[in-house]
């Protein structure tokens, strides 16, 4: 028996499966892994169809580590121990996913600083609230697992998490099925002296924001949402705001890779009727 040939054959098979594991999820999205910051917008519009339009840019100074996962990108705040923002794209095909929901909240292996534990939430009145929802990750097992990383989680009032916040998540999936690609950014709104929970002292947000971008009838449309971290029940239209309003509140520039003339127009408008919200 040629042991040398057998050895290299086994090594080749192992390498093949390792490459397959690390690339399958990102290949499924067929998009650039790193954000194309620094490129000219006109060049992007003409030549780059796979830019990550969902990735925001800070207009204020804020501490955070940006981590690129399979299905979403997170900027994690090591002082609050919750994300500053979470951004992702949801396609029509992804919204049809059937992967079963995970049930284990786990540390983020790519985080370079201290990671909160699921136990930090156990004795608190707050849910472990997903920013990138598990319901949007049913298209891939790795995407589902990574949605349960603690870097994607915030302390969230149960009535909000299981109420109007969940209703908006479900509505976004319906929009993805109807219109195609939806670009989403969401995160917490945190006061200067927030309530803290758990042994790790996780900051409790005062509220949450979500902004979305999509082409409807061939034209870009954008819409913002603002929620208090409490259990109110209203129509989704009640929470609607212009993206400009959310930017002023958060110090974040959303959808900055769009051409300025397009970005300025759609972010100044608050037109829930264009999305079918009445």
**Other beta carbons within 10 Å of 79:** 12
Q: How far apart are CA 7 and CA 10, in angstroms?
A: 5
Strand partners, 207: 189, 228
Asked if 201 and 114 count as a contact pair (C-beta separation under 8 A), the reply is no
Segment 105-117, tens digit of pLDDT? 999 999 999 999 9
The whole-number average pLDDT for the span 261-265 is 97
pLDDT at 249 over 70: yes
CA neighbours closer than 13 Å in the CB half-sphere of residue 151 = 27
Percent of the chain with pLDDT over 90: 78
Whole-number Å distance between alpha carbons of 91 and 93: 5
Task: Return the pLDDT at 35.
Answer: 43
- How far is residue 125's CA from residue 138's CA, in Å, rounded to a whole number? 28
pTM here?
0.85
pLDDT at residue 70 tops 90: yes
Mean pLDDT, the chain, integer: 87
CA 70 to each of CA 65, 139, 145, 198, 249: distance values in angstroms, whole numbers, following the listed order: 16, 11, 10, 29, 29
Q: Is the pLDDT of residue 97 over 80?
A: yes
* CA 90 – CA 76 distance, rounded (Å): 21
Q: What is the mean pLDDT of residues 152-156?
A: 98
Instruction: Return the exposure string of 14-35: e unless at least 16 CB atoms fall within 10 Å of the residue's CB, then b.
Output: eeeeeeeeeeebbebbeeeeeb
Furthest C-alpha separation in the chain: 74
Q: Which residues pair with 74 in a beta bridge?
A: 67, 86
Q: State in Å, rounded, how far the first CA of the chain is from the last one.
A: 74
pLDDT digits (tens, 9 = 90+) for 2-39: 544 544 455 454 444 444 444 456 444 443 333 433 33
Mean pLDDT of 243-263: 97
Q: Using CA atoms of 69, 42, 224, 124 in order, give the dihedral in degrees to the nearest 10.
A: 20
Reduced to 3 states (helix: H, G, I; strand: E, B; else coil), residue 256 is: coil
> Among 175, 176, 97, which Cα is nearest to 137's?
97
- Please report which residue ranges of the chain form alpha helices under DSSP H: 3-29, 41-47, 141-146, 158-161, 164-179, 243-250, 260-268
């Amino acid at each position: 028996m040629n042991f040398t040939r057998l050895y290299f054959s086994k090594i080749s098979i192992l390498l093949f499966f390792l490459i397959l594991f690390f690339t399958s999820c990102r290949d499924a999205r067929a998009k650039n892994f790193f954000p194309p910051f620094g490129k000219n917008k006109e060049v992007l519009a003409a030549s780059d169809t796979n830019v990550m339009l969902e990735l925001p840019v800070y207009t204020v100074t804020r501490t955070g580590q940006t981590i690129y996962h399979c299905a979403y990108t997170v900027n994690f705040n090591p002082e609050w121990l919750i994300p500053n923002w979470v951004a992702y794209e949801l396609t029509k095909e992804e919204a049809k996913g059937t992967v079963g929901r995970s049930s284990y909240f786990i540390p983020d292996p790519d985080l370079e600083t201290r990671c909160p534990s699921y136990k930090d939430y156990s004795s608190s009145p707050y849910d472990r609230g997903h920013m990138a929802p598990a319901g949007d990750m049913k298209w891939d097992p790795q995407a589902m697992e990574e949605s349960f990383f603690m870097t994607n989680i915030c302390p969230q009032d149960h009535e909000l998490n299981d109420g109007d916040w969940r209703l908006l998540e479900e509505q976004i999936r319906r929009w993805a099925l109807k219109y195609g690609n939806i670009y989403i950014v969401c995160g917490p709104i945190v006061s200067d002296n927030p309530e803290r929970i758990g042994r790790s002292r996780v900051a409790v947000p005062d509220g949450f924001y979500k902004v979305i971008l999509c082409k409807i009838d061939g034209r870009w449309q954008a819409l913002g949402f603002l929620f208090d971290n409490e259990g109110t029940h209203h129509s989704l239209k009640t929470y609607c705001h212009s993206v400009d309003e959310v930017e002023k509140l958060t110090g974040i520039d959303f959808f900055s890779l769009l051409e300025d003339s397009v970005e300025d127009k759609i972010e100044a408008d608050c037109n829930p009727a264009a999305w079918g919200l009445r």
